[in-house]
Amino acid sequence: MRSYKWIVFDLDGTVLNSDKEIPEENRKAIDLLRANGIEVIIATGRHHSHASKYLYELGITTPVISCNGALIRDFPSGKLLHKVEIDTDIALNVINYCKQSGLDFLVYTPEFVYYSEGSERAKAIEEYNRSVSEQMRVPLYNINTLDVSKQSIVKVVVRSKAYYELFKKLTKDINKDGRLTIVKSENDLLDIMTKGVSKGQGLKFLAKHLGMDLSCTAVFGDNHNDISMFEVAGLSIAVGNAEEELREIADHITLSNDESGVSHAIYKYILPNPA
């Protein structure tokens, strides 16, 4: 069995269960990875501030891939290592389109998150903020306070239960020239970044930055925004609740996120004989 030196985890739907909590079994297994000299990396579609609670709970000390690779920060120092923003003219077009269409959306900059009027997705972040200390809260502001000309826009998140129809509409209406990447990250979320941004590209950046050998790297995920990681890593593991497109290209499929599938796969494929 190949020895893996770096393990990369998605958060939502993978390490986290349906209650947005880290099961104790997953936490123990991830701790055991580090005890065996294996580096643990988080790659999430979330804004890094929206993931900080879990990063501390998992004891992360490595750079974090956030916003699907548009941002990479050292943790816990917060030093920005990598940023890929959407061109200002395109970002403005996307935001105006979302406003005019009455969509539920969020706009991510390297430091802040802006929400549309009445956003249900913003309520989830507000709930998160109530669960953490003040220094870990997401800096959340109304979209009307955003000046696109003075901010770097790295991602726009659109919420819709009819995500596939919305994906087709967004592709047709705002991505005719192919300058954007639009990818599903959760069952009701579409993430919009500039062309070429992905977790896989973020992983390639970290490979150079940290001297990682991607052939000795294993990745865990559940959704479409994890596909790019599965395509570049030496080992790919989909949780049992993963989207079919991810399951089809995974090397292994473990139990679901509500069955602590991450821990099950760590013991079976990464540390069958832990020290």
- Rounded to whole angstroms, the Cα distance separating 104 from 209 reads 36
Domain boundary among 178, 194, 210: 194
pLDDT digits (tens, 9 = 90+) for 195-225: 999 999 999 999 999 999 999 999 999 999 9
Question: Are 100 and 185 within one domain?
Answer: yes
Q: Is the pLDDT assigned to residue 44 strictly greater than 90? A: yes
Q: Is the pLDDT assigned to residue 242 strictly greater than 70? A: yes
**Domain limits at 24?**
6-83+198-270
DSSP string spanning 14-82? IIS-TTS---HHHHHHHHHHHHTT-EEEEB-SS-HHHHHHHHHHTT--S-EEEGGGTEEE-TTT--EEE
Q: Domain with 33 in it: what CATH number?
A: 3.40.50.1000
Question: Are 92 and 79 within one domain?
Answer: no
Domain count, the chain: 2
Question: Are 48 and 28 within one domain?
Answer: yes
Q: How confident is the model at residue 76 (pLDDT cuts 50, 70, 90)?
A: confident
How is residue 64 written in tokens?
């974090």
How is residue 32 written in tokens?
């055991």
Question: Are 187 and 202 within one domain?
Answer: no
Q: How confident is the model at residue 70 (pLDDT cuts 50, 70, 90)?
A: very high
- Average pLDDT, stretch 238-254? 98
- Average pLDDT, stretch 34-62? 97
- Average pLDDT, stretch 48-67? 97
Q: How confident is the model at residue 274 (pLDDT cuts 50, 70, 90)?
A: low
Domain boundary among 146, 169, 194: 194
- Average pLDDT, stretch 22-41? 97
In a domain, 207, yes or no: yes
pLDDT digits (tens, 9 = 90+) for 97-147: 999 999 999 999 999 999 999 999 999 999 999 999 999 999 999 999 999
Q: Domain with 144 in it: what CATH number?
A: 3.30.1240.10
pLDDT digits (tens, 9 = 90+) for 153-196: 999 999 998 988 999 999 999 999 999 999 999 989 999 999 99
Question: Are 225 and 94 within one domain?
Answer: no
- Average pLDDT, stretch 74-101? 95
SS3 130: helix
Domain boundary among 175, 194, 213: 194
